[in-house]
Amino acid sequence: MATGSQLGGIFSGAATGFSLSGGNPLGALAGGVFGFLSGDNGKNAKTDLRYSQYNADMVLQAGQANAAMIAGLAGANAAMTMAAAKFNIEIGSQVDQYNAQLRSFLGDFNASLLENEAQLVWESAELDMLQMEQQFARDLGTMRVNYGKSGVLMDQDSPLEAQIDAQTQHELDVMIVRHGADLQAKKLQDAAARSRWEGNVEAQSIMYEGFMNNIMQFGQATLTAAGQVVQGNANAAMTMYNSQIQANQILVGGQQDYASYKSADRQALMSGLFSAAGTLGKSYFDNKVPSVSNPFTGGGSKQPKTSSWSGFSNARPVYLSSAWAPYQSSLL
């Protein structure tokens, strides 16, 4: 469909070609084609409007793609943050568990050493008491032999008292050795129990501190991931908003250009109509009014002939001044 500027070009070009070719239809056709080809305001308007719509669509699509990419990257970063936190927590838990087991093992190992030392104390005390029994038996035998050589009977008061005193002292010495061994072994057993208890307490403390650190690390990772997602969504929304603003600006600019072109198109159509009307009117009157020589000056002036002339019965009458009245009949 022809635009206004093309229609105006057709009218103006056809009228101009018709006039320049002396009324030849081919001249009018050539002028109309030239005018049609020279009128492109409407095409420019439609082209710019479609171009602006295309650019706006491309901006929106790019904005959507960028927003989706930003949101996707934010989600990926959040997922990586959480994955890294879980990995660190697992590694930290394993390290804490290993340290706790190691500390508990050290406590048990030290306790076992102390318990072995207490057992050695008991064994040493048993050996000492056995040696004391053997020594007492030798001393008692020597005493009896000595008393026998002297002719003193063992069941008499003095030898019997001496034997009882020796037996009592011997038993007291054995009790002292046993008591000392008991005290030393008890200290070692208490130290072993304390070592084992400290190992267990420190192991539990390591596990508890590791658990609390894991909770804090997981909470921080969750907050960081949530912040990344929120920031990514905000950036994506801002990107979409900016793309929409830019697309609207492009559409508004295209609509303004379209309106400007349409106005120019209408002006071109009106100008072509008026130009065609003026050109055809001028051509009409130029062809209808012949040139008549002035008898006084010899110059030519446009004068219409009377209705007696064939083909000019509709010519406008000419009103001459009174000085020309005697010559009017000869002129006409």
CB atoms within 10 A of CB 117: 16
For residue 161, name the pLDDT band (cuts at 50, 70, 90): confident
**Non-local CB neighbours of 136 within 8 Å, separated by 6+ positions:** 166, 167, 170
pLDDT for the residue numbered 191? 93
pLDDT for the residue numbered 96? 92
Q: Is residue 34 part of a domain?
A: no
The region of weakest confidence among 64-73, 163-172, 269-278, 314-323 is: 314-323
Q: How far apart are CA 263 and CA 41, in angstroms?
A: 9
The region of weakest confidence among 35-49, 113-127, 166-180 is: 35-49
Judge if 55 and 114 occupy the same domain.
Answer: yes
pLDDT for the residue numbered 300? 46
Judge if 179 and 305 occupy the same domain.
Answer: no
Judge if 226 and 318 occupy the same domain.
Answer: no
For residue 24, name the pLDDT band (cuts at 50, 70, 90): low
Q: Is residue 28 part of a domain?
A: no
Judge if 325 and 277 occupy the same domain.
Answer: no
The domain containing residue 52 runs over which residues?
40-288
DSSP 8-state assignment for residue 316:
P
Q: Is residue 15 part of a domain?
A: no
Q: Is residue 101 part of a domain?
A: yes
Q: Is residue 256 part of a domain?
A: yes
Judge if 78 and 219 occupy the same domain.
Answer: yes
Q: Is residue 75 part of a domain?
A: yes
Q: Is residue 24 part of a domain?
A: no
pLDDT for the residue numbered 11? 56
User: What token pair was written down for 47?
Assistant: 């082209």
Q: How many domains, the chain?
A: 2
Give the rounded distance of the alpha carbon of 88 from its chain centre. 24
pTM: 0.52
Q: How far apart are CA 9 and CA 32, in angstroms?
A: 7
The region of weakest confidence among 14-18, 82-86, 148-152, 213-217 is: 14-18
Judge if 195 and 317 occupy the same domain.
Answer: no
**Region at 151 (left for phi over 0; alpha for psi -120 to 50; beta for the rest):** left
284-313 pLDDT per residue, tens: 556 555 555 455 444 444 444 444 444 444
Judge if 208 and 305 occupy the same domain.
Answer: no
Judge if 120 and 247 occupy the same domain.
Answer: yes
Residue 28 has, within 13 A of its CA and on its CB side, a CA count of 12
Beta strands in the chain (DSSP E): 291-293, 300-302
Between 157 and 169, the higher pLDDT residue: 169
